[in-house]
Amino acid sequence: MVSIVAANFARFGKRDEDIFAISSESALPIVDKFRDVIDFVVVSNSYSGEFNDISGLNNLLTTHLAIENVPSMRVDNTSGSGGSAVLVAKSLVASDEAKNVLVIGAEKMTGYPTKKSTRIIASLLPPEERRGGPSLPSLAAFMTRSYIREFSPTRESIAMVAVKNHHNGALNPYAHFQADVPLEKVMASRIIADPLRIFEYCPVSDGAVSLLVTSDENSKSLGNKSVKITGTGASSGTSSITSRESLVSIDSVKNSAKKAFKSARKTPQDMDIAELHDMASILEIVESEDVGFFKKGEGWKALETGETSIDGRLPINTSGGLNSKGHPIGASGVAQTAEIYLQLTGQAGKRQAKNVSTGFSLSMAGFGNNSTSFVYEVA
Amino acid sequence: MVSIVAANFARFGKRDEDIFAISSESALPIVDKFRDVIDFVVVSNSYSGEFNDISGLNNLLTTHLAIENVPSMRVDNTSGSGGSAVLVAKSLVASDEAKNVLVIGAEKMTGYPTKKSTRIIASLLPPEERRGGPSLPSLAAFMTRSYIREFSPTRESIAMVAVKNHHNGALNPYAHFQADVPLEKVMASRIIADPLRIFEYCPVSDGAVSLLVTSDENSKSLGNKSVKITGTGASSGTSSITSRESLVSIDSVKNSAKKAFKSARKTPQDMDIAELHDMASILEIVESEDVGFFKKGEGWKALETGETSIDGRLPINTSGGLNSKGHPIGASGVAQTAEIYLQLTGQAGKRQAKNVSTGFSLSMAGFGNNSTSFVYEVA
C-alpha cells in the first residue's frame, strides 16, 4: 500500500517570483526533513515551455533544490497533470522503483495578456475544433445551458458553488482569493460566456504544492502523519467535444471514479470529503453527480441545503477549489491530494472539516478529456 | 516481470506529415492487433507545445487512434523522455494499474530555422548557463577536447563512431540517414564546434515509434515474441555543467547503469548488444566506459578494433543511433528499447546481430542531467 506523509503549499495567486522559487517554496520544507530518503522526484507541470521558456524543468528543479542526484521526470496531462503525477508516484513506489517520491506540482502562468493564456490552453483542443473557436470557458457555458434545460435547477444554486468555494478560500491561507463573495455579487458580476459569470470561473494563477509519497512500511518510520491511497482510477473520453453524446455528464469522470471506488472496495457514500475539478461552477455539480455522490440532475440541490459546505455531510472543495484557491494548471491535481491529506490528518487549520477519515479527489484534464480519481483513507 | 511484446517505427527524418500522422503511423499496427487489451497509453514527447502549438498531445492522440476511452499521460524528460516513459509503463504494469501499456514516442521538430530549434532545446540549460551561451553541441566539443587531452585517443577513432553508425543506419529502413559515410568524408566535413564535425552530430529529425509493454502472464497469451525488462535504473546529475567535477565522465550514466545491472543481477560483460545516446560521437565512447563496457579512457579502442560493429563482440547502436537514425527528442529513448526488442527477437532485418539474447539501453536527458538504463533478456 502507498501513503502520503507530507504536503506543503506555496501560496497560489499572482506571484512575482519565478517558477523555481515558487516550486522550491513548496518543496523545501519536505526536502529539508526528508532529504536523505527522497529517491525520485515527479514534477507535475504542463506549460513551462510555453509560459516560462524552460524545458527539463524536473532536472533544473532537482539541481535548484540541491538534490541533483535524485532521478526525476515531468508528467503532463494539462489540467489533470497532478492526478497523473500522483498516479506515477504511486506506481513507482508500488512497483519498487522508488521508496519515497517527492511530487512537485507547479505552474507559473500570470503576467501575460489573457488572450495569450487562453490561446495556449486552447492548444489542448483538437485542431479542427480549435479553428471553430470554442474555448474552455465557452464549453462550460454550453454545459450550463444544457443542464438548466434538462434538470431545471435554480440559477442561484449554480452560482452558490462560487459562494461556497470563495468562503472556503477565505479560510485557506494558500488560496488565490481569500475573501467571501455574496450571492448577489456573483449574480451581478460580468458575464464571461452566457450564462456564466466571472466569479464562477477559476482565475489564472501561479502556484506550487509538494507531497511526499511513500510505501506503508516507510510511512511509520518517517514519523509524519500518513494517509493511504486505497483506490485509483484513470480514464479518458474523446477530446472531440462535438462528438460527445451528452453535455451534462462526463464519461471519463464517471469511469475513473468507478474504477477508483472499485479498487478501494468503497462506495461514493462512504466518502467523508472530496476535492473536485471546479474550473467553472457547473463542473462541480456535474462531477458530483458523475462521481456518484448525487443522482444525475440533483447535485445542485446540495448547494441549496449546504450539504457540501465545510460543516455539511460531504464537504466538497474545502480548499476553495480551483474556483477560489486558483488553478496553476500543473499544480491543481497535486493540490487536491494535498488538501485531502491535510484534512484527513487534521492539519487544515480554519477550514478543517470534522470527523473525516475517508476522502476522494478528481483530477481532470481539458474538458474531461482525461480523469484520474483517488480514494484515500486515514492510515 | 514486465515484457515488451511489440515495437513499430515510423520512419525518422524530415517528414511532411504532422505529429498526429507520424505518431499514428508507428502506433496503428499495434493498435489494430491489440485494440481490445490496451488499457493505458504513455506518450513520450517533450516539445509539442514549442514546436507544434499542441498541448494534451496524449489525449488528442488517443482520440485520433480511436481508442479515446483508454487513459493516457505525457511523460517528458527532454532527450531522455523515452527512458522515463518506458519506466512509467513498466511501473504501471508492475503495480497493477494497467495490464497492457502502449508507449508512443514522438516528436515533430523540422521545418524551423536551426537557430530556433537550438534555442528551444537550450531551454533545458540552467538560466545562468544559458545566458553564458553554451549550447549542447558546444558542450560535446568541450568533452571531446578534455577526453583527447586526458586519454590520447586517435582523432579518427572518435570520428569512427559516425562511420559505424552511418553504416548501421544505411541498413535500417527507418533511419533518417541511410547512406554510408567514409572516414575521410567525416574528417573533412564542416566543423560545428571544434573539434567535432557535422557528421559527428545527430540531425534534427521528426519521427515516432511505438511499443507494447505488458506483464509476463499476458505476454504469452498475446502471441507475439517477447523480451523481458529485467533491470532498470534511473539517476540524475547536476544540470549545471560548470559545477561538474569531470567532463569525461557522466555521473547519471554511471549510476543509472549500475542500478540497472544490480537489479537485473547481471554485469556489463553479460550484455550482447546495446543502444547508447550518441547525440555526438564522443558521447558513445564516454558512455560505453561509464556504463562499464570498457575501462575509462579505453572506449575509443573498440572503434578501431570493430568490437562494437554489428558483427563485433558487443554491437552498439545497430539502429544507427541518434547519429544516423536521427533524434526526434521524445522518440529517441523509446526507439532504443524498440531496437533492442527487434534485435533480441530476430526481427532487425539487414542490421540483425547474431546470437544476441541480452541487451542494454541508455536514455539520457540533456547533457547527462538525467539517465535511465534498462537491461533486457529474451523471455
Q: Per residue in B202-252, pLDDT tens?
A: 999 999 999 999 998 888 888 889 999 999 999 999 888 778 888 899 999
A90 reaches B (C-beta below 8 A): yes
Encode pLDDT of B290-323 as tens digits.
Answer: 999 999 999 999 999 999 999 999 999 999 999 9
Q: Per-residue pLDDT for B374 more than 80? A: yes
Report the alpha-carbon distance of residue B340 to residue B4 in Å, rounded. 10
Per-residue pLDDT of chain A in tens (379 residues, 90 and over written 9) = 999 999 999 999 999 999 999 999 999 999 999 999 999 999 999 999 999 999 999 999 999 999 999 999 999 999 999 999 999 999 999 999 999 999 999 999 999 888 888 889 889 988 888 877 677 888 899 999 999 999 999 999 999 999 999 999 999 999 999 999 999 999 999 999 999 999 999 999 999 999 999 998 888 888 889 999 999 999 999 888 778 888 899 999 999 999 999 999 999 999 999 999 999 999 999 999 999 999 999 999 999 999 999 999 999 999 999 999 999 999 999 999 999 999 999 999 999 999 999 999 999 998 999 999 999 999 7
A337 reaches B (C-beta below 8 A): no
Which residues of chain A have a CB within 8 Å of the CB of B70?
Answer: 236
Q: Tell me the backbone φ, ψ of residue A275, rounded to 5 degrees.
A: -115, 125
Residue B320's pLDDT is what? 98
Predicted confidence band at B128 (pLDDT cuts at 50, 70, 90)? confident
Q: What does the block give as the cell for B281? A: 560521437
CB A238 within 8 A of CB B59: no
Residue B293's pLDDT is what? 98
Question: Of the CATH numbers 3.30.1330.60, 2.60.120.380, 3.50.50.60, 3.40.47.10, which one belongs to the domain with range A2-112+205-222?
Answer: 3.40.47.10
Q: Is pTM beyond 0.95 here?
A: yes
B66 reaches A (C-beta below 8 A): no
Q: Is B287 helix (H, G, I), strand (E, B) or coil?
A: helix
Identity of the residue in A74, A97, A369 whose CB atom sits nearest the CB atom of B59? A369
Residue B164's pLDDT is what? 98
The C-alpha angle with vertex A47 and arms to B333 and A87, in degrees rounded to 5, equals 65
Mean pLDDT over B85-91 rounds to 98
Question: Domain B2-112+207-222 in CATH: superfamily?
Answer: Thiolase/Chalcone synthase (3.40.47.10)
Residue A133's pLDDT is what? 67
A372 reaches B (C-beta below 8 A): yes
Q: Per-residue pLDDT for B133 more than 70? A: no
Which residues of chain A have a CB within 8 Å of the CB of B71?
Answer: 234-236, 252, 256, 370, 372
B311 reaches A (C-beta below 8 A): no
Q: What's the half-sphere exposure (Cβ side, CA atoms, 13 Å) at B240? A: 14
**Radius of gyration of chain A measured on its C-alpha atoms:** 19
Report the alpha-carbon distance of residue B379 to residue B367 in Å, rounded. 33
Terminus-to-terminus CA distance in chain B, angstroms? 10
Q: What's the half-sphere exposure (Cβ side, CA atoms, 13 Å) at B364? A: 30
B49 reaches A (C-beta below 8 A): yes
Residue A114's pLDDT is what? 83
Residues making up chain A, counted from first to last: 379
Report the alpha-carbon distance of residue A182 to residue A163 in Å, rounded. 6
Whether this model's ipTM surpasses 0.95 comes out as yes
Mean pLDDT over B68-97 rounds to 97
Residue A310's pLDDT is what? 98
Provide the number of CB pairs (under 8 Å) joining chain A to chain B.
202
**What are the DSSP E strand ranges found in B88-131?**
100-107
A120 reaches B (C-beta below 8 A): yes
Topology given in CATH for the domain delimited by B131-200+228-378: Peroxisomal Thiolase; Chain A, domain 1 (3.40.47)
Residue A328's pLDDT is what? 98
Which residues of chain B have a CB within 8 Å of the CB of A127?
Answer: 54
CB B186 within 8 A of CB B200: yes
Q: How far is A221 from chain B (nearest CA, A)?
A: 23
Identity of the residue in A47, A69, A72 whose CB atom sits nearest the CB atom of B49? A47
- Work out the percent of chain B whose per-residue pLDDT is above 90: 87
Residue A260's pLDDT is what? 98
Q: Tell me the backbone φ, ψ of residue A207, rounded to 5 degrees.
A: 165, 165
Q: Is B301 helix (H, G, I), strand (E, B) or coil?
A: helix
Encode pLDDT of B177-201 as tens digits.
Answer: 999 999 999 999 999 999 999 999 9
Q: For chain A, give the secondary structure using H, E and C.
A: CEEEEEEEEEEEECCCCCHHHHHHHHHHHHHHHHCCCCCEEEEECCCHHHHHCCCCHHHHHHHHCCCCCCCEEEEEECECHHHHHHHHHHHHHHCCCCCEEEEEEEECCCCCCHHHHHHHHHHHCCHHHHHHCCCHHHHHHHHHHHHHHHHCCCHHHHHHHHHHHHHHHHCCCCCCCCCCCCHHHHHHCCEEECCEEHHHECCCCEEEEEEEEEEHHHHHHHCCCCEEEEEEEEEECCCCHHHCCCCCCCHHHHHHHHHHHHHHCCCHHHCCEEECCCCEHHHHHHHHHHCCCCCCCCCCHHHHHCCCCCCCCCCECCCCHHHHHCCCHHHHHHHHHHHHHHHHCCCCHHHCCCCCCEEEEEEEECCCCEEEEEEEEEC
Which residues of chain B have a CB within 8 Å of the CB of A53?
Answer: 123
Q: Per-residue pLDDT for B326 more than 80? A: yes
Residue A379's pLDDT is what? 76
Identity of the residue in A91, A235, A365 whose CB atom sits nearest the CB atom of B69? A235
Residue B131's pLDDT is what? 75
Residue A117's pLDDT is what? 87
Q: How far is B238 from chain A (nearest CA, A)?
A: 5
CB B291 within 8 A of CB B360: yes
B234 reaches A (C-beta below 8 A): yes
Report the alpha-carbon distance of residue A33 to residue A24 in Å, rounded. 14
Q: How many CB atoms are located within 10 Å of the residue A108 CB?
A: 26
Q: CATH assignment of A133-202+228-378?
A: 3.40.47.10
Predicted confidence band at B22 (pLDDT cuts at 50, 70, 90)? very high
> In this complex, do B75 and A74 lie within 8 Å of one another by their Cβ atoms?
yes
Encode pLDDT of B142-167 as tens digits.
Answer: 999 999 999 999 999 999 999 999 99
CB A103 within 8 A of CB B104: no
From the candidates A72, A74, A91, A240, which should be mutated to test the interface with B, based on the most B CB atoms within 10 A?
A91
Domain boundaries, chain A: 2-112+205-222, 133-202+228-378
Q: What does the block give as the cell for B126? A: 540552467
Q: Which of residues 266-285 of B touch A (CB under 8 A)?
A: none
